[in-house]
A = this chain, B = another copy of it.
């Protein structure tokens, strides 16, 4: 497939400009130059006539989707063993599976399937947890580079409250720096992200060392926060001096501010924690299906958005079973509705506009100007295949988008561009 940094797509175009505003442009053209959006036009302006044109008239065209939280080594057991809450689920399911990535052959076999699934999905950007293993993490980065998505990948750090067979030793900081050195400058599309698993699995001395590595390498950070009541109680016991879970990260300089940070889940954050996240610009990866599968609860996601926090969506494979961020959008609406129906009917649930925003621009902002078709945004673009959902009557563009989001199969993507390059 031709790789192109500039191009033109004709079709039916939808994108968000903020959480409440969905722009729909029927039979319009989307133009990008040097990988960045030039604009959306009803007629092609003269100055772009030289760019290659793809005629997708009649098809939906939207920004690429953003997955702010996914565990690559858990991909083989998505949809399996869904009968435990978080902490026993980690010990019984996640840790034994992740231990297999000690073996680079297994890692390659499993990560090839993962990278292929990511490539054919609607996701163009992702923040990815690997396992703690250095060789396997490098294999993952190589395969994702080939797939062409723009990703952050983190070698996981963990040295307590985890089984011996999946626990780092005192050399954890040195191994982490070796990983950064060995991969530095090797990839165009894959970048490293510092990844302490979560406070329960990281000793203070490890966190301190990671804080120093962050400062030295200016890395972004991803971890987990306030997912489950038992986890929160465990953090309180481990860090009695912290007023709330997030403060335990903050002590080590790993909670936003100058450190671009994503915290997954944030289902049960107390008000002071949310206040600090807002001040520090910490991103929330809302993972509705995982929160349901692991009985963690239902995030007050609409209230978080209204409070001005930065929120995107995560598939959280394999707490979540589905890789699809379209599915995450409807899961977010569903859990928001059940939260309203079961806890407080005065809470208005998430709208389609808000859910679509979360899966595109909401998460995209973590990557910069990503997730919209406004001028200057990076040209991550999907052309959607609606052929499996014929309908007997004319639909508006907004209706077609809603219907697609609710019904889309995992591979109903006709074309996918990342930074203007066609990747499939």
Contacts and interface: CB of A to CB of B under 8 A. Distances in A.
Contacts of A405: 79
A82 B338 contact: no
A302 to B, nearest CB: 13
Contacts of A352: 82-83
Interface stretch (A204-212, A255-263, A291-299): A291-299
A49 interface: no
A22 interface: no
B295 A341 contact: yes
B392 A292 contact: no
B76 A295 contact: no
A292 B341 CA distance: 8
A113 B338 contact: no
Interface stretch (A176-184, A244-252, A329-337): A329-337
A203 interface: no
A102 interface: no
A78 B390 contact: no
A424 interface: no
| Tally of this chain's copies | 2
Interface string A295-334: 1111000000000000000000000011000000010011
B388 A411 contact: yes
A266 to B, nearest CB: 15
Contacts of A389: 79
B321 A392 contact: no
Contacts of A110: 392-393
Contacts of A410: 388, 407, 409
A341 B392 contact: no
Contacts of A81: 399, 402
Contact of A393 (B76, B322, B338): B76
B333 A79 contact: no
Nearest to A267: B341
B391 A76 contact: yes
Nearest to A340: B295
A327 to B, nearest CB: 10
A392 B79 contact: no
Contact of A109 (B333, B342, B392, B407): B392
A113 B298 contact: no
A4 interface: no
A217 interface: no
Given A78-B406, A79-B403, A341 B297 contact: yes
A349 interface: yes
Contacts of A76: 391-393
A242 interface: no
A351 B80 contact: no
Contacts of A388: 410-411
Given A351-B83, A393-B76, A292 B338 contact: yes
Nearest to A330: B321
B295 A79 contact: no
B106 A392 contact: yes
A404 B403 CA distance: 23
A348 to B, nearest CB: 9
Q: Which 9 A-B pairs have the closest CB atoms?
A: A79-B406, A110-B392, A79-B403, A321-B406, A109-B392, A342-B342, A409-B409, A295-B341, A292-B334
29 contacts: A76-B392, A76-B393, A79-B407, A80-B402, A80-B403, A80-B406, A81-B399, A82-B333, A82-B406, A83-B351, A100-B393, A106-B392, A113-B390, A113-B391, A113-B392, A289-B334, A292-B337, A292-B341, A293-B337, A295-B340, A298-B341, A298-B342, A321-B330, A321-B406, A338-B339, A339-B342, A342-B342, A388-B410, A407-B410
Given A78-B403, A83-B351, 9 more contacts: A80-B395, A80-B403, A81-B402, A82-B333, A82-B402, A83-B352, A110-B393, A296-B341, A297-B338
